[in-house]
Amino acid sequence: MALWIQISPGSSEPIYAQIVAQVGRAIATGQVSAGDKLPAVRTLAGELVINPNTVARAYSILEQQRLVNTKTGSGTYVADPKLRHADAVRLNILTERMDNIITQALNIGLSEHDIKRTFEDRLKKFGTKPDGGKRKK
């Protein structure tokens, strides 16, 4: 299980949001794959020294985002990406967000070319592993 989560209380981001963001990123960058089991709520809570309810809340949000599945009695597992794609609602939200970003980018004076290049750069970063190694496509 290659998932390392670190939280900092005292940040302006709530703890559960930090967990959601980190698990989400781990899934997006391929650090964990479909079918991998996330740490049990109690275990993660004990490791991070936080309330188990906070972990449970993060997992529940991840489940709403269709990034993970919880099987009662068994645990929480990373969801199959194919099933994620069927989420039309999420796609709509994402498109809206993209529109926002494009609008803002155009407003501050970026050209279409700049916007594309910046996006590609960022996308590339997700293709690399955190230790700098590249991921095989």
Partner 1 sequence: MNDIVIEARNLTKYFHKTLALDHLNLKVPRGCIYGLLGRNGAGKTTAIKLMLGLLRPTTGTATVLGCDCQNLTPQIRRRIGYVTEGHRLYRWMKIGELAKFQRAFFPGFWDDKLFNDMLDYFELSKKQKIKTLSNGQRAQVSLAVTLSPNPELLIMDDPTLGLDAAIRRQFLEGMIQLIGRQGRTILFSSHILSDVERVADRIAVIDRGVLRADCKLEEFRAAVRKVRFSFAGAVPGEIDMPGLLHQRRNEKELELTLIGTTEEQIDLWAESAGATYHKDIDMNLEDQFIEFTAPDAEKKLFQWEEK
Hey, which residues between 15 and 34 contact partner 1 (CB under 8 A)?
Answer: 15-16
Hey, which residues between 99 and 128 contact partner 1 (CB under 8 A)?
Answer: none
Nearest 10 degrees: CA dihedral of 102, 107, 111, 115? -30
* Backbone φ and ψ of 2, nearest 5°: -95, 35
Interface size with partner 1, residues (CB under 8 A): 17
53 binds partner 1 (CB under 8 A): yes
What gap in Å lies between CA 63 and CA 102, rounded to an integer?
A: 29
12 binds partner 1 (CB under 8 A): yes
- Contact call for residues 134 and 127 (beta carbons, < 8 A): yes
- Kindly tell me which of 8 and 132 has the beta carbon lying closer to partner 1: 8
Among 45, 61, 102, 110, contact with partner 1 (rule: CB under 8 A): 45
Closest distance to partner 1 from the beta carbon of 57 (Å): 8
- Which of 3, 10, 8, 16 has its CA nearest to residue 55? 16
**Binding site residues, partner 1, CB under 8 A:** 9-12, 14-16, 42, 45-46, 48-53, 57
